[in-house]
Structure 1
Amino acid sequence: MMRKLMYMVIVLVLVSVSSGNVILHDYGDALAKTVLFFEGQRSGKLPATQRLAWRKDSALRDGLDKGVDLTGGYYDAGDNVKYNFPMAFSTTMMAWGVIEYGKTMGPELVHALEAVRWSTDYFLKATATPGVVYAQVGDPKADHNCWQRPEDIDTPRTVYVVSRNAPGSEVAAEIAAALAAGSLAFRAFGDKVYAKVLLKRASEVFQFADKYRGSYNDSIGEGVCPFYCDYSGYQDELLWGAAWLYIASKKNLYWNYVTQNMINFKPQIESALFEFGWDAKHAGINVLLSKLVLNNSMEASTPFLSYADSFICSLVPDSPTKTVQFSPGGLLIKQGVCDLQHATALSFLVLAYARYLKKSPHLIRCNDKIITQTQLVGFTKQQVDYILGSNPLGMSYMVGYGSKYPRRIHHRASSLPSLAQHSDHIACKAGTPYFLSAAANPNELTGAVVGGPEVDDSFADDRVDASKSEPTTYIAAPLVGLLAYFKARSSH
């Protein structure tokens, strides 16, 4: 028996070496690191359980000038601004991952729920005043002009607000979606009281978003544009928020809202059926609601299933109608930008749809080609594996995973010495030498996933090139669910 086992191990190693890119990934380790990353992005008073110990308390006076407590939440990327629009999307995606795959997360479930709660607690603060949603904290232009630790912030912590007279439907509706999805996650895993609080607030915030329609581009554009301008309109967020509220509450008024407004917003929705990310929720709406059609709990006459099929046909390599490209190494390339936010968000949708199809007779037809559930799972695994190191460079794009990963990421806290290393205040421009240095970052932001390689699979590992070397919460958030799924699958 022992001789047979050794033979199998030798064969496995030989196959891995001869193929060059066949790597057995530890999805459980990658999952743990991805969840840990969110601790590195925390703003506010850090708890005693903080595991990334080089990060310390920061931005403890946020909202004070407005007479409100806006401490907490996440810095979205490598800067020190709290952009609530992409933060809410990241929260929705983490919560969706917990809802779908929480039972397979093992010990990481507790940490994943903590990561969701860190932002839902913040959003409860940001929406506590009726008729007002706090949409952002921090002056982005001043912040981006500095290279400074979050613990040293001395740039203006400007608070940007949307209200009845200055609406921001996209940011309000995405926060409603995050709170509703969060309520489902906490209801499923034991905190039903908190789940009710989140659902009630989600309903109130959605009502505000819908009643006072308008884009935050027009209300607070100087704060959000061009960084997180809403380019796709706010209609998709209204449908997305209502969809999550229906699933969380089972109230028909939300289902009726979605089905009616899929007609009213048809031009806006059909113009971006294949898009999904912090700005565009179009494909996500259709995949999310396709589950209700596939399990026969809602009428088949709705367009969600056909729209979801069209999305899949635009994406998978075997489809004759695909509209995306792939790098030579197999990474999804969308809109001419090799950015891993597309690979993770779209892969999450593909895997979710594959699982919804598992017990259904429904077939995806891309012209005369049938795309199977097995193909969808395989596509998703290829994208995840690429990110983890199955690529021409053998480079993991997740910091701390594997032996070869980015060391000079575009991230202020990671690239500057920690308070333990340098207790004195680092002023706005005093961090510039660290930014320009060729040295590796002194603090490992474990689990951070950077923007990714060039379209030819090359990667410079250059801190100055933010588009490639900067990690974001919305790149990492979909990976929580993806990695939980493949962790469970690889253990069978």
Structure 2
Amino acid sequence: MAPNALFSLPTFRVLAMLLLLLSPIAAAGHDYHDALRKSILFFEGQRSGRLPPDQRLRWRRDSALHDGAAAGVDLTGGYYDAGDNIKFGFPMAFTTTMLSWSVIDFGKTMGPELGNALKAVRWGTDYLLKATAKVGTSGVVFVQVGDPYSDHNCWERPEDMDTSRAVYKVDGSHPGSDVAGETAAALAAASIVFRSRDPSYSAMLLKRAVTVFDFADRHRGAYSNSLRRAVCPFYCDVNGYQDELLWAAAWLHKASRRRQYREYIIKNEVILRAGDTINEFGWDNKHAGINILISKEVLMGRANYFSSFKENADGFICSTLPGIPHPQVQFSPGGLIFKAGGSNMQHVTSLSFLLLAYSNYLSHANKVVSCGQTTVTPAFLRHVAKRQVDYILGDNPLGMSYMVGYGARYPQRIHHRGSSLPSVATHPAHIGCKAGSQYFFSPNPNPNVLVGAVVGGPTNNTDSFPDSRPFFQESEPTTYINAPLVGLLAFFTAHP
């Protein structure tokens, strides 16, 4: 059979078993375009700063208009990463990178939503440009606004914030190669997005990405060592900063085609551990993403010097699929990718994005992946990715969509301050730090629907879900869950 067939004949029995395991709970057809529209709309609910006239989630208002004042800089804008009111630079940069990758690979199938996706990317990059404005002159990158402990001690709307908006930075004496590297990756990826759409903006993004990467590489160290109290345990870098340096170099190579980044990648592949934890991908661990991204060059026949990354990418595929010898990723009885820890959907969407992206790269190169005696085709990888998307949208044992506002049944009590408290329009008076607690503990549904938000979902392998605000690991949405999902939904909009 051709590589686009679902499986090759020698492996019919193995993959037939996998298909049975991954078959939908219900054969419900999904409106992927509607889900795509809502997944992008979610980012408008996470906006910080002064909202634009075309803001569509009208229950939100301007917030955090003095961010950066404590450091004498303008750090307004950007995104709140989840259900709190802190602006964490590390996950925000990763979110921006994945939104950009979604547009780069799948923008052609976004239809009328492409414009909104571009706005979502730009809302992130405009902020990252502010956060890195002093990197060239003062060697400073601002990486966080807001004290997480005072913020997490309150339950209040972003419009009412009266907690500390302390500003945190990394510099030559207090390095943060991880957060700076991810920021460079985000700026470089976004420069590709805007290359033909806004050339001057694209050039600015790429120039800044080069400067930020140079800073990250020259002053090596993990930002959680420099800023432990501010970033741990919230977005503490457990995996180390090496992968972000290689990730940033990969995006800079893709964006600039400069030989220096190709040579950097080859020279530092072993030093920066490109082959480590190849089945992990998320805001803290870029290894699988590095290998998939660089492998496209190999599959297109342009870069045999990157062949080891292609081997690692194949290893990622073989470690991820069920039924393959020695898999490193579990699946729940309902067919959901499952990894221990909180906010499991971040793994579901990020890993599924890589499966789909690699499927497309393999398909264009007319290639397959060999996992021992099993041959995995591009069509099968698409099937696995689609199964995960369909689970999120409602094809699961509970028959519930994990995307707020999509389908007949979805989470009603998500762990999100702005969504759970009365809007400024309905309750203009200030709601203080502890006054919001009554809404946090209320059994009532959230009064404001955060359309498109995908929550953390089941965090065990029983497919169970408590629709309750205190269970934040299950009920809290994040920007980095949605960002890869944008690309997935865009593809399945055109290929249902």
User: Scaled by the length of structure 1, what TM-score is found?
Assistant: 0.94
Partner in structure 2 of residue 140 of structure 1: 148
TM-aligned CA deviation for residue 192 of structure 1: 1.2
Partner in structure 1 of residue 16 of structure 2: none
1:477 and 2:473 correspond: no
**Kept after mapping to 2: 8 A contact 1:321/1:366:** no
Paired AA for residue 185 in structure 2: A
TM-aligned CA deviation for residue 361 of structure 1: 4.2
**Kept after mapping to 2: 8 A contact 1:449/1:471:** yes
1:30-52 C-alpha deviation (Å, 9 max, x unpaired) = 00000000000000000001000
1:48 and 2:56 correspond: no
Bigger Cα displacement from structure 2, 294-303 vs 458-467: 294-303
| Secondary structure of the structure 2 residue equivalent to 1:107 | helix
Bigger Cα displacement from structure 2, 365-374 vs 444-453: 365-374
Paired AA for residue 215 in structure 2: F
Partner in structure 2 of residue 395 of structure 1: 400
1:287 alignment partner, one of 292, 302, 311: 292
1:230 and 2:237 correspond: yes
1:151 and 2:159 correspond: yes
Partner in structure 2 of residue 6 of structure 1: none
2:250 alignment partner, one of 243, 251, 261: 243
Bigger Cα displacement from structure 2, 446-455 vs 359-368: 359-368
1:275 alignment partner, one of 272, 280, 289: 280
The whole-number CA distance in structure 1 between the counterparts of 2:154 and 2:419 is 15
Partner in structure 2 of residue 296 of structure 1: 301
2:339 alignment partner, one of 334, 340, 355: 334
The whole-number CA distance in structure 2 between the counterparts of 1:452 and 1:65 is 37
Pairwise CA RMSD of aligned residues? 1.1
**Kept after mapping to 2: 8 A contact 1:337/1:455:** no
Partner in structure 2 of residue 13 of structure 1: none
Partner in structure 2 of residue 259 of structure 1: 266
TM-aligned CA deviation for residue 455 of structure 1: 1.9
Partner in structure 1 of residue 9 of structure 2: none
2:387 alignment partner, one of 382, 391, 398: 382
1:401-459 C-alpha deviation (Å, 9 max, x unpaired) = 00100000000000000001110111100000000000000000000000002421111
The whole-number CA distance in structure 2 between the counterparts of 1:198 and 1:353 is 26
Bigger Cα displacement from structure 2, 457-466 vs 441-450: 457-466
TM-aligned CA deviation for residue 222 of structure 1: 0.9
The whole-number CA distance in structure 2 between the counterparts of 1:186 and 1:388 is 30
Paired AA for residue 339 in structure 2: K
TM-aligned CA deviation for residue 336 of structure 1: 5.8
Higher relative contact order, chain-length normalized (CA < 8 Å, sep 6+): 2
**Kept after mapping to 2: 8 A contact 1:169/1:214:** yes
**Kept after mapping to 1: 8 A contact 2:291/2:312:** yes
Bigger Cα displacement from structure 2, 256-265 vs 161-170: 256-265
**Kept after mapping to 2: 8 A contact 1:411/1:470:** yes
**Kept after mapping to 2: 8 A contact 1:338/1:455:** no
1:35 and 2:55 correspond: no
1:180 and 2:185 correspond: no
1:193 alignment partner, one of 200, 224, 231: 200
**Kept after mapping to 2: 8 A contact 1:321/1:367:** no
Paired AA for residue 374 in structure 1: A
The whole-number CA distance in structure 2 between the counterparts of 1:465 and 1:335 is 15
The whole-number CA distance in structure 1 between the counterparts of 2:431 and 2:278 is 46
Partner in structure 1 of residue 441 of structure 2: 436
The whole-number CA distance in structure 2 between the counterparts of 1:181 and 1:403 is 36
Paired AA for residue 156 in structure 1: S
TM-aligned CA deviation for residue 363 of structure 1: 2.9
Within a 5 Å distance, the mapping from 1:397-436 to structure 2 comes to: 397-436=402-441
| Secondary structure of the structure 2 residue equivalent to 1:136 | strand
The whole-number CA distance in structure 2 between the counterparts of 1:76 and 1:68 is 21
The whole-number CA distance in structure 1 between the counterparts of 2:341 and 2:432 is 37
TM-aligned CA deviation for residue 337 of structure 1: 5.4
Partner in structure 1 of residue 461 of structure 2: 455
**Kept after mapping to 1: 8 A contact 2:294/2:306:** no
Within a 5 Å distance, the mapping from 1:351-370 to structure 2 comes to: 351-370=356-375
Partner in structure 2 of residue 465 of structure 1: 471
1:80-121 C-alpha deviation (Å, 9 max, x unpaired) = 000000000010000000001111111100000000000100
Within a 5 Å distance, the mapping from 1:80-159 to structure 2 comes to: 80-129=85-134, 130=136, 131-159=139-167
Q: Give structure 2 stretches of 5+ with no counterpart.
A: 1-23
| Secondary structure of the structure 1 residue equivalent to 2:265 | helix
Change (3 A) 1:325 1:197: same
**Kept after mapping to 1: 8 A contact 2:25/2:334:** no
| Secondary structure of the structure 1 residue equivalent to 2:227 | helix
**Kept after mapping to 1: 8 A contact 2:100/2:186:** yes
The whole-number CA distance in structure 2 between the counterparts of 1:94 and 1:277 is 13
The whole-number CA distance in structure 2 between the counterparts of 1:20 and 1:450 is 20
TM-aligned CA deviation for residue 301 of structure 1: 5.6
Paired AA for residue 422 in structure 1: H
Partner in structure 2 of residue 171 of structure 1: 179
**Kept after mapping to 1: 8 A contact 2:279/2:328:** no
The whole-number CA distance in structure 2 between the counterparts of 1:276 and 1:382 is 19
The whole-number CA distance in structure 1 between the counterparts of 2:451 and 2:190 is 24
1:183-220 C-alpha deviation (Å, 9 max, x unpaired) = 101114x1111111100000000000000111111111
TM-aligned CA deviation for residue 365 of structure 1: 1.2
**Kept after mapping to 1: 8 A contact 2:266/2:306:** no
User: Scaled by the length of structure 2, what TM-score is found?
Assistant: 0.93
The whole-number CA distance in structure 2 between the counterparts of 1:280 and 1:20 is 31
**Kept after mapping to 1: 8 A contact 2:276/2:287:** no
The whole-number CA distance in structure 1 between the counterparts of 2:25 and 2:175 is 54
The whole-number CA distance in structure 2 between the counterparts of 1:416 and 1:301 is 51
The whole-number CA distance in structure 2 between the counterparts of 1:318 and 1:412 is 41
TM-aligned CA deviation for residue 272 of structure 1: 1.4
The whole-number CA distance in structure 2 between the counterparts of 1:210 and 1:302 is 24
Bigger Cα displacement from structure 2, 304-313 vs 352-361: 352-361
| Secondary structure of the structure 1 residue equivalent to 2:168 | strand
- Paired residues, number: 469
Within a 5 Å distance, the mapping from 1:287-326 to structure 2 comes to: 287-299=292-304, 302-326=307-331
Bigger Cα displacement from structure 2, 359-368 vs 435-444: 359-368
Change (3 A) 1:274 1:95: same
**Kept after mapping to 2: 8 A contact 1:364/1:371:** yes
